[in-house]
Amino acid sequence: MNKIYLYPKWIRIWHGINALSIIVLIVTGISLHYTTKENSFIRFDIAVTLHNIFAKIIVFSYLYFIISNAVTKNWKAYRLEKKELLKKLVIQSKYYLTGYFKGDKKPYPISKERKFNPLQQITYFITMYVLVPLVILSGIALLFPESIVEKFTTASGIKLTVVFHTAIGFLISLFLVIHIYVASVGKHPLRNYQSIINGYHEE
């Protein structure tokens, strides 16, 4: 059995805080967006308070992630290799869709040098370096609505910001669902979850 120490303590701590915060933000965001004050999934004032608290946690968590990535050079794991990228993405996608179920070998097995397969790499890059900053910036804007342009052509600036914030939140929610599924892919479905607790990846 191949056992690699892949996730140092700082990543495991950050991952736990980040996962909890995102789940709370998704649940409270759904309650705020799709219910009313009188008929809410979570009581309106509690949902607002929790959403704002965990939004602040996400901001500090993200800053911690960026700084730690730079200091430890973990950012290299997110560096996209453009050479034959599309071909690699197709190969990895085929593995997830059919190859895994047929017992095929992983086309891009994890190693110390390659922490993510190509599909994970581009997905994590887009999520962490594009979607998360956008949802944070739009969320901060909603905390200070006076900073938002009142009208964008004929539409309300605040409404557009809400729609944008919700759309990005939906994409992050979709990423979370796929992330949980992909983490369960393998001979031992719980092994990837164990690795983010003890730091060791096992093949």
How large a percentage of the chain has pLDDT more than 70? Answer: 94
Structure tokens at 173: 């929610």
Q: What is the pLDDT of residue 59?
A: 95
pLDDT in tens, 39-69: 778 888 899 999 999 999 999 999 999 999 9
Q: Which residues does 9 contact at the CB level (< 8 Å), separation at least 6?
A: 199
CATH numbers and ranges of domains, the chain: 3-80+119-202 (1.20.950)
CA distances from 97 to 23, 64, 101, 102, 202 (A): 26, 34, 8, 10, 22
Contact between residue 118 and residue 112 where contact means Cβ atoms under 8 Å apart: no
pLDDT in tens, 92-132: 999 988 888 888 888 988 888 888 889 999 999 999 999 99
